[in-house]
């Protein structure tokens, strides 16, 4: 039994399960938009299927990322202790893990509606394909953002079977927000990426310019948050959550400098995780109050 729980723990660490906090709250926003704002019936079964899809898709994506980057991770002092390069999990086992999660993701979408089933291979192509983009483009951060941005619009489609403007705006918020903070995260590996012919914004433009790009992208995020509030006729709860979210965006740029990366983990994980949760709570609360 101990070995089973140890294996579960290892796989949770492999896929950085705690980072689910970035996209999951926005999936709940997409679900709530459909139910609370557009008047569709609440279904616990459907909500659980959406959550399961989120977990399965992310497991497949992160597992594939670790398999694809195994050799690079083994060379990088920051990542050489990860589960694959250290031998805690074998490449074969991780590959099977990816395949199983990808298959179950597609099967689960089939229990939601026809449109989600048809779009599921496209979603997998985006979220798995991200792992290869660092080989040829410094825009890889935006592909990661695109992958996570599928959460709110995907959840909305799961309920309604249709597209709508407001959930797309929330998806654009996720795209720019995630892209911006992933650039900050990549600051740690700019020299390694450059020496190994890997592409990222920091390795392409240098740390100072990369931080400026991140700030510019997060400025767009702020504008999109304002647009979401305007189009969604947000009330006091929405604007409270939007204010906290925006302040946390600004905060991470104050604590990370091009010559001081000691608080990158705080900016990347803690700050953005808190921002996502708080924003989702207040946005959904605002919809509840006005429904």
Q: What pLDDT does 268 receive?
A: 76
CA-closest candidate to residue 87, choices 70, 68, 75, 64: 70
Rounded-to-integer distance, Cα 157 and Cα 180, Å: 26
Alpha carbon distance 235, 181 (integer Å)? 28
- How far apart, in whole angstroms, are the C-alpha atoms of residue 7 and residue 86? 15
The per-residue pLDDT for 242 is 98
| Per-residue pLDDT in tens (0 to 9) along the chain, 291 residues | 666 667 778 787 787 776 778 899 999 999 999 999 888 999 999 999 999 999 999 999 999 999 999 999 999 999 999 999 999 999 999 999 999 999 999 999 999 999 999 999 999 999 999 999 999 999 999 999 999 999 999 999 999 999 999 999 999 999 999 999 999 999 999 999 999 999 999 999 999 999 999 999 999 999 999 999 999 999 999 999 999 999 999 999 999 998 888 888 877 778 999 999 999 999 999 999 988
**CATH number of the domain encompassing residue 150:** 1.10.357.140
Q: Is 51 exposed, middle or buried (0-12, 13-18, 19+ CB in 10 A)?
A: middle
Please check whether residue 8 lies inside any domain of the structure: no
The rounded distance, in Å, linking the Cα atoms of 117 and 115 is: 5
Q: Residue 10 falls within a domain, yes or no?
A: no
Write the CB contacts of 67 (distance below 8 Å, at least 6 apart in sequence): 84, 91, 94, 95, 98
* pLDDT for res 34: 96
- The reply to whether 13 falls in a domain is no
Q: Does residue 15 lie within any of the structural domains? A: no
In eight-state DSSP terms, residue 170 is H
In a domain, 203, yes or no: yes
280 is a domain residue: yes
d(CA 111, CA 41): 17
SS3 label, residue 281: helix
pLDDT at position 5? 66
The per-residue pLDDT for 239 is 98
pLDDT of residue 2: 60
The count of structural domains within the chain is: 1
Yes or no: say if 24 and 151 are a contact pair by the CB < 8 Å rule.
yes
CB 56 within 8 A of CB 49: no
Give the domain extent around 111. 20-290
* Residue at 9 is within a domain: no
Does the residue 116 lie in any domain?
A: yes
């Amino acid at each position: 039994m101990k070995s089973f729980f140890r294996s579960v723990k290892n796989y949770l660490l492999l896929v950085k399960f705690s980072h689910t906090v970035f996209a999951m709250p926005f999936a709940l926003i997409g679900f709530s938009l459909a139910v609370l704002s557009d008047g569709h019936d609440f279904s616990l079964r459907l909500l659980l299927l959406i959550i399961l899809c989120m977990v399965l898709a992310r497991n497949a994506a992160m597992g594939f990322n670790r398999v694809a980057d195994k050799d690079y991770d083994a060379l990088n002092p920051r990542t050489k202790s990860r589960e694959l390069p250290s031998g805690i999990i074998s490449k074969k086992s991780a590959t099977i893990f990816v395949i199983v999660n990808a298959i179950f993701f597609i099967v689960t979408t089939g229990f939601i509606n026809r449109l989600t089933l048809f779009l599921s291979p496209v979603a997998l192509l985006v979220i798995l394909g991200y792992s290869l983009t660092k080989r040829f483009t410094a825009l890889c951060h935006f592909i990661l953002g695109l992958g996570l941005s599928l959460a709110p619009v995907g959840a909305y489609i799961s309920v309604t079977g249709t597209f709508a403007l407001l959930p797309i705006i929330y998806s654009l918020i996720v795209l720019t927000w995630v892209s911006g903070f992933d650039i900050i995260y990549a600051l740690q590996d700019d020299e390694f990426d450059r020496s190994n012919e890997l592409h990222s914004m920091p390795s392409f433009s240098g740390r100072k310019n990369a931080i400026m790009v991140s700030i510019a992208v997060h400025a767009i995020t702020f504008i999109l948050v304002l647009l979401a509030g305007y189009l969604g006729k947000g009330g006091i709860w929405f604007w409270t959550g939007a204010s906290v979210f925006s302040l946390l965006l600004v905060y991470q740029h104050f604590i990370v400098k091009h010559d001081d990366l000691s608080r990158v983990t705080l900016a990347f994980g803690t700050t953005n995780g808190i921002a996502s949760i708080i924003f989702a709570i207040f946005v959904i609360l605002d919809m509840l109050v006005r429904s």
